[in-house]
Amino acid sequence: MTMRSLFAAPVIRWIALLLLCAAYLQGSIDKALDFGGAIGEMQHFGLAPPALFAVMTIALELGASLLILSGIYRWLGALVLAVFTLIATFMAARFWELPSPQRLATANTFFEHLGLVGGFLLVAWHDLRERRAAST
């Protein structure tokens, strides 16, 4: 088996998508199991009503991840997580407002999350491209 055929295997693609969604799956499950903590997180970021935002965040993270992993409206799940991640990153990782010791770690987090946004945009682009090719 060549490297090309190995990386073209559907299982490799699915594992890559699982890894891309891992933080969102873990986050939604943690929030669901510790709903009080999820409410506290929403309060920390000034989101009100916090219980509603916690439920919406759990549903969004879990639902969009399942769309991506199942292949059903994969492009939509990827776009939802891209937008969600972009908004959350600008809310939670405002490194430019922090003093120097904290700035570096938060800046790294900010740019890592931008990388996730790019990954989700690529997933959406590839899925839409494949759908277009299959319909012609």
Q: What is the pLDDT of residues 120-135, one digit of tens each?
A: 999 999 999 999 999 9
- In this predicted structure, what is the pLDDT of residue 8? 84
Distances from the Cα of 18 to the Cα of 26, 52, 84, 131, angstroms: 11, 27, 18, 21
Longest CA–CA span in the chain (Å) reads 55
Reported pTM: 0.94
Per-position DSSP letters for 47-85, written without gaps between them? -SSHHHHHHHHHHHHHHHHHHHHH-TTHHHHHHHHHHHH
Q: What is the pLDDT of residues 65-80, one digit of tens each?
A: 999 999 999 999 999 9
- In this predicted structure, what is the pLDDT of residue 92? 96
The parts of the chain modelled with pLDDT lower than 50 are none
Q: Provide the mean pLDDT of the chain.
A: 96
